[in-house]
Amino acid sequence: MRQAVIVYPRTRNDVRPGKAQAPGSLECRFDIGFTASLAQKEKQIQQNYRPVIGIHKWFARRPGTVFRNLLLAEFDGENSLQEDYWRAHQFKGVLADPFMGGGTPLLEANRLGFSVIGTDINPMAFWIVRQSLAPLDLAAFVQHAGTVVRELEQEIGSFYKTRCKYCGQIADVKYFLWVKTQTCPQCGTENDLFPGYLLAEAKRHPKHVVVCRNCGELNEFERQPTKDNPEPCCACGQAVFIDGPAKKNKLRCSSCSHVFNYPEKQPAGPPSHRMWAIEYYCPACKSNHQGRFFKKPDVEDIDRFLEAKKSLAGRNSELPIPSEPVPPGDETKRLHRWGYRFFREMFSERQLLGLGLLLKKISAIENTPVRHALLTVFSDFLRYQNMLARYDTYALKCQDIFSVHGFPVGLVQCENNLLGIPKVGAGAFRHFIEKYRRAKEYCQQPFETRQQKHRKEIIPIVGESIQAQQVKRLPKAGEREAWITARPAAQVPLGPNSLDGVFTDPPYFDNVQYAELMDFCYVWLRMALKNEFAAFKAASTKSPQELTGNEAMGRGLDHFTGGLSEIFRHYAKALKPGAPFVFTFHHNDPNAYIPIVVAILDAGLNCTATLPVPAEMGASLHIARTKSSVLDSVFVCREVKAGIESAGVQDRLKSDLSALQKAGLRITEGDIRCLIAGHMARIAINELRDKWDLSATLQERMEAVRFELDGMRDKLSHECLISTFVGSTFGKGRYIGNKTAV
């Protein structure tokens, strides 16, 4: 696909000065179709459209294009959104995000000139947003990064070499592949826990690569051999097939045929592994070689690993390697079941050696902004440098440990080259340095991407940037200041009439346990920052004040609703008259909206609009092939007297779906359920506003909302309504006036 770069003349890409707010313009000016068209393209390759997310991994980031459009719709108002979107702006005001996470609303607001207040109870969120806004000398960053890589290459580079099986020269390893093993309780034989013997599919490699279960040789076949139709091994002649022995947590011993369970009950330690394959890169053979380079590990390869293990044992005490235990939790219980008790047990000895040396070198850099930047790179690339990372047999690359938003304990692991091969592979330190450099380059000169037929136009928005002076007080309007903190949002001191708006993406009750996942990076980063930042004093990012449900910590729906209400009330009191409180939310179950309805009503706000926008990518591993929605409802709330909208759920849903489909979105049943639930919540807020009793107990207020939503479900014939719209949307019916014929 061709790509063009367009720079508008100054008269068209001018920096517009701050203007007075026009309350209510968001509800009128927001363009659903235009926003949806931009957002769905961004979510396909978000790092290309918003490279700033390359600063560090965070979960479920909302499209930056959505919040740019929301902010422009609210605070501009001179031209259509489609005209103003491609121009630079500089607004004056202070916006806040009490649940900043990865910081998308704050970054988009800062880019438009606003001063911002961001808080999150998770110190990793604090660090990611802080680093996203921090200025950085890119030349100094690249220079120091290069020095660190060269020095470490001399110390550990030999541990990532192998001998090419074609030319015999020493080549760089891309990935070491390991398989978990377990001892048979009957005969003591060590068994490989292979779920399947396929290493590579014949998609990005000429042939299927399958390991022989008898001798371990790697074979290449035109087809995938099965137990019923095997192929002979090229080395030993035994039958080779892709079907593995490990199924449904049971394995038949290869020696005595005894069937036993894996993992062991109450294991004494983490599982054992055996190296069984290597993917490498040989520049000497590349011109005459088709596909990737694979080999069975030889004696030299095993010796190199043992040498790294020996080196770690001799230097272990001098290296910064975390000793923290893995705390119990909803997401970490899987780790405990497999015997992982300490974070360091999720890494091989070669990885621990390299990571410890790398962290030590970075921590010694005297240039503080560069040191902080490289520490952030280090923290982020840990996702690909561990013994829970897996190998993608289709894409032929290492997978991020958090690709499914959890701690997946697979049976086959991928050990990545720590420093990496220049311009080859992914997930190594070299690659993450470049990703960070590109992110900060984008911050210095943001751009937008516009699709024009079969090519993309890159449009630099001259006059905008993502950078702020960081302060520890209420920021001043017009100064592009940022007050970023790690604390409970309700504890941020805010004065009345201090906020021009709140734009946020709050958690929902059964949200992913981000704190449990981010501890994986935090325990390493903490070793370098705990004496510099109070946010890194605690041993874990987990806190009893988190606003997510957590069985292990005894946090139920009451805790979540009460906490959400406290924060909404705190920030609503700081809003200027008529200023917006805007947030995204999605869930397919209307009762999941009870906490936000209570919080909005407790805060004295009315819901003036619910707007549909794309939220996530349907192909994301954690939602693919599920009934989850990829749409958000944007709730626009203000402290104004709002009448009940004349348009009911059916009419609004009909217009929403029409706008989204015209923008090219493929609507699912989950999307329809989500949008209906959002509109029901909006109507419930405005129905209950005048009779809301703040003196009632939390349980009574929640029950009042539940009663209202249940009554609305009955009145709307909820499931019948969904079936009707599903049929119409999927082409099984047609709209006739205000009704639908199926």
694, 600 contact by CB (below 8 A) = no
Residue 553: predicted pLDDT: 52
Nearest to 570 by CA among 27, 126, 99: 99
Which DSSP state fits 258? Answer: -
Residue 512: predicted pLDDT: 58
What are 87-98's pLDDT values in tens digits?
999 999 999 999
Contacts of residue 78, Cβ cutoff 8 Å, sequence gap at least 6: 16, 84
75, 108 contact by CB (below 8 A) = no
Nearest to 100 by CA among 115, 69, 122: 122
175, 278 contact by CB (below 8 A) = yes
Nearest to 632 by CA among 689, 595, 681, 699: 681
Select the more confidently predicted residue: 523 or 77. Answer: 523
As given in the structure block, the two tokens for residue 204 are 């990005």
As given in the structure block, the two tokens for residue 99 are 């649940």
Q: What are phi and psi of 420, to 5 degrees?
A: 90, 165
The percent of the chain in helix, strand and coil, each rounded to the nearest 5, is 40, 20, 45
Which DSSP state fits 575? Answer: B
User: By percentage, how much of the chain surpasses pLDDT 90?
Assistant: 77
Residue 510: predicted pLDDT: 60
Mean pLDDT score, 665-691: 91
CA 337 to chain centre: 25
733 pLDDT higher than 60: no
Nearest to 72 by CA among 119, 111, 118, 40: 111
User: What is the band of 729 on the pLDDT scale with cuts at 50, 70, 90?
Assistant: low
Select the more confidently predicted residue: 126 or 718. Answer: 126
429 pLDDT higher than 90: yes
Q: What is the DSSP string of 267-327?
A: -SSSPEEEEEEEEEE-HHHHTT--S-EEE---HHHHHHHHHHHHHHHHHGGGS-----B--
The neighbour count for residue 327, using CB atoms within 10 Å, is 17
Select the more confidently predicted residue: 525 or 742. Answer: 525
User: What is the band of 12 on the pLDDT scale with cuts at 50, 70, 90?
Assistant: very low
CA pair distance 422, 418, nearest whole angstrom: 12
Residue 616: predicted pLDDT: 72
290, 191 contact by CB (below 8 A) = no
User: What is the band of 509 on the pLDDT scale with cuts at 50, 70, 90?
Assistant: low
What are 623-649's pLDDT values in tens digits?
334 456 789 999 999 997 655 454 578
Mean pLDDT score, 716-732: 68
3 state SS for 12-73: CCCCECCCCCCCCHHHHHCCHHHHHHHHHHHHHCHHHHCHHHHHCCCCCCCCHHHHHHHHHH
User: What is the band of 18 on the pLDDT scale with cuts at 50, 70, 90?
Assistant: very low
Domain boundaries, the chain: 568-742
CA pair distance 1, 455, nearest whole angstrom: 6
- Average pLDDT of the residues of the chain: 90
For residue 523, the one-letter residue type is V
Q: In what order do the strands lie in the sheet with 581-585?
A: 469-470, 481-485, 115-119, 94-97, 501-504, 581-585, 631-638, 606-614
Mean pLDDT score, 510-519: 77
Residue 342: predicted pLDDT: 97
Mean pLDDT score, 525-535: 97
307, 159 contact by CB (below 8 A) = yes
CA pair distance 674, 695, nearest whole angstrom: 31
Q: What are phi and psi of 186, to 5 degrees?
A: -85, -45
Residue 131: predicted pLDDT: 98
Residue 13: predicted pLDDT: 41
Mean pLDDT score, 705-729: 81
What are 223-240's pLDDT values in tens digits?
999 999 999 999 999 999
Q: 611 exposed, middle or buried (CB, 10 Å; 0-12, 13-18, 19+)?
A: buried
User: What is the band of 4 on the pLDDT scale with cuts at 50, 70, 90?
Assistant: very low
Beta bridge partners of 293: 280
- Tell me if the bond preceding 195 is cis, omega within 30° of 0: no
HSE value, Cβ hemisphere, 13 Å, CA-based, for 560: 23
737 pLDDT higher than 50: no
731 pLDDT higher than 50: no
513, 109 contact by CB (below 8 A) = no
As given in the structure block, the two tokens for residue 581 are 């409180």
User: By percentage, how much of the chain surpasses pLDDT 70?
Assistant: 90
What are 247-296's pLDDT values in tens digits?
999 999 999 999 999 999 999 999 999 999 999 999 999 999 999 999 99
The neighbour count for residue 236, using CB atoms within 10 Å, is 13
Q: What is the DSSP string of 68-121?
A: HHHHHHHHT-SS-HHHHTTS-B----EEEETT-TT-HHHHHHHHTT-EEEEE-S
In 3-state terms, what secondary structure has residue 166?
coil
CA 444, 447, 449: angle at the middle one, nearest 5? 160
389, 413 contact by CB (below 8 A) = yes
For residue 79, the one-letter residue type is N
Residue 741: predicted pLDDT: 27
Nearest to 446 by CA among 456, 437, 433, 459: 459
CA pair distance 496, 484, nearest whole angstrom: 19
Residue 9: predicted pLDDT: 35
Pairing of strands 455-460, 447-452: antiparallel
Q: Locate tokens 């707010």: which residue?
A: 21
Residue 277: predicted pLDDT: 98
